[in-house]
Amino acid sequence: MPQIVSHRTVVRDGWHNMGSDLCFWKDTFWLVHARTSAHAAPDGVLVVHRSADLRRWDEVAVLKTPNHLADAKLAVTDDELFVYTADSYFDMESGKERQVLHPYVWVSEDGYRWSEPTRVYDRNYWMWRVRVHDGVFYSAEKGGELLSSPDGHNWTFISRIPDDEDKSPKDVKELRKIDHRTTPHFNEADIIIRPDGEMWCVSRTKREPHQHSYLYTSKPPYKEWSCVDLETMIHCPALCEFGGKVYVAGRRDPNTTWIPQHTPAGNTAIFLLERDGVTPVFALPSDGDAAYPGLIALEEDRLIIAYYSQHAYLSGVIEAEKKRRHHMVRWGELRRQAPPPGYSRELSHHKTGPADIFVAEIDLAVVEDGSSF
């Protein structure tokens, strides 16, 4: 039965810390997350941390744009570390309030000194997670388009990953000028390229009645796609492969049945991903606004996951009011005021309260009954 080898709180400062990612670059672990007053507060910034051993973590950089930042993702080459996100604001150009996104990238050669934020691709696109394979950058962006780049800055369209919407690529392009939410059945996604060159993509969807996630597969040149219903909900999927096995982590539906394990099964989970579906592996301690993980494997049968959660407060282990007093007083003042220009009061009330960042090591090969996972 898989077990937690180590579980460390990286950030617990009273802020609503969220949207984490993790990578191993230049013999060092790197973690990025958003720090904000609430899930969609207008004051979100990105924070970068480093660790040599997964035990001690140091904050090394804070990244900002003029607008709200939330989920950030890491990508690496041999020489450079990339942080991708999209900032958001609201405009009233059409007479109706609409959220506007602009994708951004920062680049660093050492993790400490970062470039200025650079806009990439186009308005209302979000390279949700970027992967580098054989020197080429790929992203299944949040609206269902597969993009590629030779350098992480200049992106081109490869193909549209199919959903149930009867829209042509031209129609979608025109809709993107108005609103980024053009594809309700394709959302947060991650990709991985298998040893034979086939691309696997797992996407969050809003397919009713259970919002099942889907596995999409495509062979080079990644123009034609097949899909399989994974028959479970996996929000914010993060993929990794080691030893021929592919794993996906994300937020599961806590109301679904889970496998027996030694620790309580929270809403942040890891699955074994195969062509015809997923198998539950392990669920981390987590509750409330949670998950949005980074997932890596440096050795066989051991996974390292970074994620965020509010379980310490919701369970009563930590008295939330004491931990969040300063930030919630500030946030209370913000909520009583008119929203900042170009910002939605409705969204700014969503998912408040402190949330922490965690890093855990999971041993998948713990032998208890003569067998292994």
Mean pLDDT for 133-155 is 95
Q: Predicted confidence band at 101 (pLDDT cuts at 50, 70, 90)?
A: confident
DSSP letters, 182-193, are --TT--SEEEEE
Per-residue three-class SS string for 268-309? EEEEEEECCEEEEEEEECCCCCCEEEEEEEEECCEEEEEEEE
Mean pLDDT for 297-326 is 82
- Using only C-alpha atoms, the chain has a radius of gyration, in whole angstroms, of 20
DSSP state of 369: S
Q: Predicted confidence band at 169 (pLDDT cuts at 50, 70, 90)?
A: low
Mean pLDDT for 344-350 is 39
Residues 6+ apart with CB under 8 A from 176: 122, 123, 124, 125, 143, 182
Backbone angles phi, psi at 86, to 5 degrees: -135, 135
Q: 48-83, pLDDT tens digit by residue?
A: 999 999 999 999 999 999 888 889 999 999 999 999
Say yes or no to pLDDT of 40 above 80.
no
Say yes or no to pLDDT of 333 above 60.
no
Q: Give the pLDDT confidence score for residue 61 in this predicted structure.
A: 98
Higher model confidence: residue 222 or residue 94? 222
Q: 204-215, pLDDT tens digit by residue?
A: 987 766 789 999
DSSP state of 313: H
Range in 81-90, 128-137, 232-241, 362-371 with the lowest mean pLDDT = 362-371
Backbone angles phi, psi at 195, to 5 degrees: -55, -30
Other C-beta atoms closer than 10 Å to the C-beta of 371 total 8
Domain 3-363, classified CATH 2.120.10.10, yes or no? yes
Range in 39-53, 131-145, 311-325 with the lowest mean pLDDT = 311-325
Q: Give the pLDDT confidence score for residue 170 in this predicted structure.
A: 56
For residue 335, give the 3-state DSSP assignment.
Answer: helix
Annotated domain spans of the chain: 3-363
Q: Give the pLDDT confidence score for residue 90 in this predicted structure.
A: 65
Say yes or no to pLDDT of 244 above 70.
yes
Other C-beta atoms closer than 10 Å to the C-beta of 157 total 13
Cis, bond preceding 209 (omega within 30 deg of 0): yes
CA 202, CA 188: separation in Å to the nearest integer? 8
Q: Predicted confidence band at 367 (pLDDT cuts at 50, 70, 90)?
A: very low
Higher model confidence: residue 80 or residue 91? 80
Residues 6+ apart with CB under 8 A from 209: none
